Chain A
């Protein structure tokens, strides 16, 4: 790589430094991976190769950028929830929960205990579904079509559970300020226990066909190694961070909802390669199943009680209360549409399937946010490609890309 020349098509009159392009070195070859590659989704990685060794990689994001931060400034507070969950539709509860909690912080309220358990319930269902989705995509990358079909089929179990609970397969808009929208339907916990048993059995099947498969192991072991100190320096997050030996999980370091009352472990691997990241995700599914069992026990032991904070619930007309008692649905009151949030700033984070998501929320006392800043897990993990890919062979790229579980819509926001 040498020198800088003035850019290409159409951008010549712009005085932006960004309109510059680089001249590539004499012996290098530039390869564009994506944005329409069958696996990568809406993301492009521009790599420069010497022979088949990657010498430079440049992640190029933004193909599904939806200006969420700007749009949230012109919407009322409640309308931002369905907007933000478009980041990761199968992980909707995890993604929107920190926003809801940040606004609750500003309002000075907290959800009732039952609502907290219900939030954790959907969070973990979402987490498992998102892990299975990631496994499926990873299977495609490695040319392992069985590992594509099995997790995608098994994900249906969790998506249907979420549908039964919330009324929507994806984008549930389940947590709202002060609580959740629906209580568990009759018979739900039995179905949940059945799903947990089924998933445990299936994890054993995955181990036999994929995790312990010698072909898969030879493609993943020692590939995409991220040492502990580099993982911290790059600020990567989620299972990728924990697979590099850093014990950090928002559910443990900054417990929210009822995670501090539940018994689960944070698995950690020291190896830091692509294979460790696969094992990490398998272990995390097991821990999520453990959490779900405890939540199911709690729900069985406790009678139906309000799932919205009193501040909102007291404004509900008698008909709404009757519907809630009979069907377990809490229809949202008019007060949500005209909600004004007191002045102030709040910072809240949560653990999604792919890592930590953080929200900076600032209110100036009006019915729309003054500023919402979102930084999602995939946006932080994208830095990995720039610093880890160089030095690997081109054939290792799919293995590394898939093992990071990068999700473009979440990164682009």
Chain B
């Protein structure tokens, strides 16, 4: 299976939900943009098609556009052909209302990963049974450290 066939396959699985498909450098990673409202249905279909786990949930902050981009990078263990590729299911949510729905009922792998996105960006995943910080303590998580407006303080290395 080459990357064009994969793109065609994903378009067939998700049919009219696909807004845009981007093939990134290296030809092994594609990013499929969908609507926020379709994420549950899209995830269900992808899982049925053999993308059986979430490799990684990535959130990227774009303050200029006023959005968070949520990317569920899916891949497969059980299907050898699909396992070569990563398919990123991506959608944007507004920065001033960081709320979305959880994929936990569909993918158990989303459990800790959504908690990580919650503590680092302050995004609430509705329906997640245990929405607490994972790595950070609550006061640190309150600062939403991975947002772009959280600036890392640099200390001078010279002695005063």
Contacts and interface: CB of A to CB of B under 8 A. Distances in A.
B31 A345 contact: yes
Interface string B118-150: 011000000000011111111101100110001
B135 A246 contact: no
Nearest to B132: A18
Contacts of A347: 24, 26, 28-29, 73, 86, 88
B58 interface: yes
Interface string B54-82: 11101111000000000101000110100
Nearest to A246: B77
A248 B25 contact: no
A74 B152 contact: yes
B109 interface: yes
A346 B52 contact: no
Contacts of B28: 254, 347
Contacts, number: 125
A375 B56 contact: yes
Given A105-B25, A347-B86, A386 B111 contact: yes
A334 interface: no
B112 A71 contact: no
Given A65-B136, A253-B84, A383-B111, A358 B141 contact: no
14 contacts: A18-B132, A62-B137, A70-B152, A105-B26, A231-B77, A246-B78, A346-B29, A347-B24, A347-B28, A358-B73, A373-B58, A383-B111, A386-B111, A412-B135
Interface stretch (A125-133, A232-240, A289-297, A321-329): A232-240
A20 B111 CA distance: 18
Interface residues of A, number: 52
Nearest to B131: A17
Contacts of A253: 80, 83-84
Interface of A: 10-11, 14, 16-20, 61-62, 65, 67, 69-71, 73-74, 105-106, 108, 231-235, 241, 246, 248, 253-254, 344-349, 356, 358, 360, 362, 370-371, 373, 375, 379-380, 382-383, 386-387, 412-413
Across the A-B interface, the 9 shortest Cβ-Cβ residue pairs: A62-B135, A18-B132, A235-B53, A235-B109, A347-B29, A375-B56, A373-B58, A253-B83, A65-B135
A248 B112 contact: no
Contacts of A382: 112
Contacts of A65: 135-136
Given A14-B142, A253-B80, A346-B24, A234 B135 contact: no
B155 interface: no
B24 A344 contact: yes
B146 A69 contact: yes
A131 B146 CA distance: 33
A362 B135 contact: no
Contact of A70 (B26, B52, B145): B145
B158 interface: no
Given A232-B77, A254-B84, 8 more contacts: A70-B146, A105-B25, A232-B78, A234-B53, A235-B77, A235-B109, A358-B55, A382-B112
Given A69-B146, A241-B77, A344 B138 contact: no
A83 B22 CA distance: 30
B56 A18 contact: no
A125 to B, nearest CB: 27
A62 B136 contact: yes
Contacts of B138: 11, 14, 16, 18-19
B132 A345 contact: no
Nearest to A101: B26
Contacts of B139: 10-11, 14
B84 A360 contact: no
A294 to B, nearest CB: 23
A387 B111 CA distance: 11
A16 B146 CA distance: 17
Given A18-B141, A232-B77, A254-B83, A346 B55 contact: no
A347 B56 CA distance: 10
B2 interface: no
Contacts of A379: 112
B5 interface: no
A301 B93 CA distance: 56
A168 to B, nearest CB: 22
Contacts of B38: none
Nearest to B146: A70
A379 B111 CA distance: 12
B135 A18 contact: no
B119 A18 contact: yes
Interface in B83-108: 83-84, 86, 88, 107-108
